[in-house]
Every structure is written in structure tokens, then in C-alpha cells.
Structure 1
Amino acid sequence: MSMNTPGTRIDDIGNGLYRISTPVSPDTVPGGFSFNQYLLVDEAPLLFHTGLRRLFEPVSRAIESVLPLNELRYISFCHVEADECGSLNEFLQAAPRAEVLCGQVAAMTSVADLADRPPRALSDGEALSLGARTVVWLDAPHVPHGWENGFLFEQTTRLLFCGDLFTQPGSEHAPVSDDVLDSSEQMRRTMDYFAHGANTGPVLERLAALQPQTLACMHGSAFQGDGAAQLRKLADRLCGAG
């Protein structure tokens, strides 16, 4: 993709979480679009999503406005796709102590070969301490897409790094919203990116049962509020009840 972007911004959205967002103009993607990464500051700082390879420079500059790039300890993402891990090796080079966090299927099928350093492959439900916070990996094959897909949940602040769930169209978004479902459903009606597998409903209910208070969405605004309600409404839409 040839990027035509007016600028990358970083916003503190609370509890040590920063949203880095790059708008994509309607000249590049009809209607506009956005790519988000999330920086979670702790004793072992974590970057969730790297962004496209061409976005390494603006994203890295945004991170360095908060902490030195070489202090990154973990880099993670939901599944292997250019906008989620396109600049992974550039970040590994800039942060010599950083480890890649991914699911075991992702490590087996792609990441062990693609990444310049061996990944730390997490099993379903495996927890990892970042210091004051603990993250847990959750396998979620084909939800919304990708056999290797999974999510990362931070237990203390009830933060769900939810990747491509709730993908919102448009290039300009507030850092945080109290409703991401309606906008994301408009996007899905235009270009349905869900696999619609038999496990879609159960996976979304598993996420809802965690009662997340923040949904770190990859495209558009992050959500803060009753994340369980948003996830269950999404499940209703996807599974034919709404």
C-alpha cells in the first residue's frame, strides 16, 4: 500500500496505556482509514501491533516521546498481517531486549521464520507478568480471521487488546469512544472481514466474561466502558440475534 498520511499521533488514554494512531486519507483508502498501535508502560513495556513496515519511523518517534525505543521488552499482535507486524524486525533491531509474544500456532506457522529472533510462544491461557500488570494470551482461531489469531488481556486494568474486532471506518477518530459497535458494523456491512466460524459466538462470550473495561481496537477509537456489553452485542449481530 502506498501510504498518504497526514500524521501520526500518540494519546495517553489512561493507566499507562498510549494509543498511537496514523490516519489514512480517502485518497489512499476510500472513506479513509486508520492504523493503531498501543504502548503499555510498565517495568517491561509492551507494544501491541507494530504497524506497516512503512510506518516504522513515525510510530517509533511516537513511542520515543514516552520512553526510549530500546526499553521495549515485548512486542505482540493478534495474527500475522502487515498492519499488525509489518515492521516487527525493525523494532527488534531497535530494541535488542525485546521478545515477540504470539500464540503457539503463529509461532509454528509464521513467526519463528519471519522474526529475526525466536518468538516467545504463549499457550492458551498462559499469563506473563510485565511488573505491576499481568497479561494473558487467549487463543481465538478465525475470530475474526486467521487460524493463528489470539488476543491479549491485561488483568489489573481489564484491558483487552482486541485487534481487528470493532474495525471502524474513517481516518479521524477520537482516542476513546463509549460506543464502537455501530461504526464497526457499518464497516462490516461494506466489507465483511469475519470468518463466521462455528466458534465465533463462544470466543466472543469468553472475552465478554472477562468484563473488559477498555477495548484497544486496531482501527478507529479505543473503547472505554462496559466492554462485555459491546462484545455480546457484536456476538448477537454476527450470530443472527440482532
Structure 2
Amino acid sequence: MSVPDNLPRRANPPAKEGFHSLFNIVAGTILVVFLVVTGLQVWSDRHHYLAGHGQNRAATRDAAVASLKKATEPQVVSGILTELDNDTSQFIHNGGIGEIASHWFQRDYQSAFSLVAVLPSESRVTAFRHAVEYYHLDPERFLNESLRLVDSRIQSEVTRRIFDDLGKNDPAKGLALLARAEEEIVRTFAIESLFLCWSRVDPDAARAAAEKLEKPGERDRALNAVNR
């Protein structure tokens, strides 16, 4: 027997509707909490992994730097460099070698050049830039080794830094070193740097010394530097 459509239907009991609403709220809350906790755990795991990876990488770099600093023979330096992983190798050659080279020159100036000689060309440039502060231990050798081990770009930079310093602090020593320098590139930059910096300390003495240079071209270069 069919029930007429126009008869009133029984409404769900209020208690049942309230139960369904409460159930949905609780279930939704549990789902949100689960997703949040899961996300936090994933983030935490990744954070700890990256932190551990970073610490391991830093430890590897520190160990490589320490080993290179201790090295006293060129073959030992070469051996260490060939065993470095890519990340550590890039760190060493892109800047870390400066600290290492400074340590070599401070420890044993004379043997440091043989250690620098086995470095790749760009690393030798970095090494000389950092080690130039020790040039005063043997200025002539430092200039000669820079001519042998690095290209003209760094040679000019090293020469300028040395003769800038001598012009400001010890012009007589600068003149003596200039007299022993034979390479044209060294003399060119040395004269400009020495007499320019000297003239700012004692222009009369610098001009008098410039006028005594034998070669006309060098004398003119020195006087131009004094008169700037």
C-alpha cells in the first residue's frame, strides 16, 4: 500500500542530529590534528637531516683545512687535494686556500712557495693575495715567485701592494728592491706605486729620487706619479 506524498514526514530526532554534528566536528578536528602533527614530523625530520648534513659538511671542510695547514711537503698537499669531494674542493679553491696559504707563509716562509706551486692556477692567485702581507720577510723572492707562479693580473696587484707599502713606510728599501727588479712589468707598476705613495709622505724626497732614475721613460713615470 503506497503512502500519499502529501502526508507529513517524521523529522529526525533532535538528539540524533546533534550527535551527527558532534561526530563531524570531532572527526574533522582529529583529521586536522593528524595532518598538522604529520606535517610537523616531516618538517622536523627534514630539519634534523639538513642540520646533520650541514654539520657533517662543515666538519669535512674543517678537517680538510686542518690537514692542508699541517702539510709541509708539496706531494702531501697534492694528495689531499685529489681526495677532496666536490663540495669541499670548491670551498677550498674558492676562498679557503687563502687562510691555508697565510698559515704556510707564517709557519715557514721559504718552503711555503713550493706548497703554493702545486695549487691550481686560480688557487695560487688567492694564495698570493692573502700571503702578500708576509712579503717583508723576503720581498725580492716574493716578487720573483709571483712572476713564476701567477699570471700578469696578479703580478701587477702584488707589485702594487708591495711598493705601496714600501713607499709609505720604507722608501729606501723600496728603491733598493726596485734596483734589483729586472722584469719590465714589475718595474712599471713598482715605480708608479712607490713614488706615488712616497710623494704623499715626503714629496721633496720622492721628487729628488725620481730625478735620479737613469732611464728617461722611468724617470718621467716616477715624476708623473710624484706630481699627481
TM range (shorter): under 0.3
Larger Rg: 2
TM-score, structure 2 length as denominator?
0.28
Greater percentage in helix:
2
Richer in strand (by share): 1
Q: Which of 1 and 2 has higher RCO (CA within 8 Å, sep 6+)?
A: 1
Using the size of structure 1 for normalisation, the TM-score is 0.27
